[in-house]
Amino acid sequence: MTADGSSIVNDTKTKTGAAEPTGFEFFIRREFDAALDRMWRAWSDAERMSQWWGPKGSETEVVKLDFRPGGICHYRMNFEGQKMWGKLLYREIEPKKRLVFVVSFSDESEGITVHPMNPGWPRHILSTVTFAVHDGKTVITVRWVPYEATDAERKVFETGKESMQAGWTGTFDRLDAYLGTA
C-alpha cells in the first residue's frame, strides 16, 4: 500500500499467458479512487495523458494521439535532463476494459530507436492494460512483455524489473495526483 492509501501489487515472476512468443512478463496493479469513465479519458485523450504519462520527475507532451487500433501515440519526454521520444502503436482498444499496444522509444519522426540510457533494452514492449471496477474504485493492471526481442534483450528486460517497478510506481503516482486535481 502506498502513502496515499492506494495499493500496488507486483509479481515479476509471472510468465506471460499471451500467444506472443516473447519471454518473461512484468506485472503491476494499482487501485485508484476514481471513476472508470474518468480513468479512461485520462488514457485516451492527448491533453489529459500529457499531464501524467511518464515516471515521476518527467515532463511529457503527447504530440500525436490517433486513438484507434493501428493508430499511434507519439510523445516527447524530458526526464533527468534528457529529452527522449516514445511511441505507442495501438493494437487493440476495448473501451473502458482493455488496451493493447507496443511501446517503443522513437525519434521526432516516429522512427523506432534504442533506449537512450540502455541500448540493450528491447526495441518493442507489448503492453496490455486492463481496467476494472472494484468497490467503486478503478483497478489498473499493466503487463509488459518483450516483443520481437532477442535473447540478450530479454535478459536485459528481466534484469530491469526493479527499474520498471520504480518507473510505473512513479507514473501511477502522477496519474493519481492528476486524477485528484483534474
pLDDT over 90 at 20, yes or no: no
pLDDT over 80 at 23, yes or no: no
163 vs 5, which has greater pLDDT?
163
Model pLDDT for residues 42-96, shown as the tens digit of each residue? 999 999 999 999 999 999 999 999 999 999 999 999 988 889 999 999 999 999 9
- pLDDT band at residue 182 under the 50/70/90 scheme: low
| Superfamily classification of domain 8-181 | START domain (3.30.530.20)
Three-state SS letters, the chain: CCCCCCCEEECCCCECCCCCCCCECEEEEEEECCCHHHHHHHHHCHHHHHCCCCCCCCEEEEEEECCCCCCEEEEEEEECCEEEEEEEEEEEEECCCEEEEEEEEECCCCCEECCCCCCCCCCCEEEEEEEEEECCEEEEEEEEEECCCCHHHHHHHHHCHHHHHHHHHHHHHHHHHHHHHC
- pLDDT band at residue 24 under the 50/70/90 scheme: confident
101 vs 6, which has greater pLDDT?
101
Q: Where are the domains of the chain?
A: 8-181
What is the reported pTM?
A: 0.85
Q: What is the pLDDT of residue 80?
A: 83
CB-based contact 158:142 (threshold 8 Å): no
Q: Which residue has the cell 520527475?
A: 57
Q: What is the pLDDT of residue 81?
A: 86
- pLDDT band at residue 145 under the 50/70/90 scheme: very high
Question: Once rounded to an integer, what is the mean pLDDT over residues 105-129?
Answer: 96
